[in-house]
Copies of this chain bind each other. A is one copy, B any other.
Amino acid sequence: MQTIGFISPPSWFDPSPAEFPTVCAKAVQVQQCPLSLPELDWRIDSIARTEPELIAAARTLGEMGCSLVANVGTPFAWAGLASVTEARARQERLALAAGAPVVMSGIAIIEAFAALGARRIGLACTYYSDDWRDRWARLVAASGVDVVSAQNLAGQGLMPPHDDADRAYWAPTAEQIGESVRRLAETAPQIEAIAVSGAGSRTLALIPALEREIDRPVFGSDTALYWAAAKAAGVALKPGILGRLTDAC
């Protein structure tokens, strides 16, 4: 049986280790290693300096026998880096430490757009600050897709403006996420697919209804990671469980 090890962001309850087995068509085992960074101030420049902790967590999960390591938390893949190529090099350094393949949600989202054949895309950045949103949009654009629009909940008037570190806002409701995706789809009708980012923005239960409503692929940093992890582990997903992304390859 495959054992998937999750590297979780610090100081946060991570639903991924319990949720991932529920999307798989056959049994998988999971383990978890959270980053121990109690002092992290959540600025992108600070996250950029967490690679040593990511490496240590990857090594720990590898030593526990994990056959695949999955990193939760989009910016851990790309903070401090200018391109998805550089992010993939970070991912490779983690794989070397783990002695096993590694998938990272920040890279999985970019690969999901490619697998869906989406060239003009939208980013629903939910609780991201303007700085996080703009840096994330630049990274995605550097992968070669056309980022038609990147919007956060504060900018959409769906949440008060707040700082990077104000975690009171890091658990948007299903209604906020849905409304954000709808507005993005409406204001930019040429968008072919939408990625919802923010590990605290849980989309697994929302995808089918949202895709029906806007008639375009929608995925989250959660479902993109599950898709990438299942693919890398060679584990089949339950039919349609991640919406249109389920069978993309």
Contact = CB atoms under 8 A, between A and B. Distances in A.
Interface of A: 3, 8, 10-14, 17-18, 29-34, 36, 38, 56-57, 59-61, 63-65
B31 A33 contact: no
B13 A18 contact: no
Given A18-B30, A30-B18, A31-B32, A38 B10 contact: no
Contact of A31 (B34, B38, B59, B61): B34
A10 B60 contact: yes
Contacts of A64: 8, 11-14, 34
A35 to B, nearest CB: 8
Given A3-B13, A13-B65, A18-B30, 19 more contacts: A8-B64, A10-B60, A11-B63, A11-B64, A12-B64, A14-B31, A17-B17, A17-B30, A18-B29, A31-B32, A31-B34, A32-B32, A32-B34, A33-B33, A33-B36, A36-B56, A36-B59, A38-B59, A38-B60
Contacts of A33: 32-34, 36
Contacts of A14: 31, 64
11 contacts: A8-B64, A10-B60, A10-B63, A11-B63, A18-B30, A31-B32, A31-B34, A32-B34, A33-B36, A34-B60, A34-B64
Question: Is the contact region of chain A dominated by helix, strand, or loop, or is it mixed?
Answer: mixed
A240 B54 CA distance: 42
Contacts of A29: 13, 18
Nearest to A63: B11
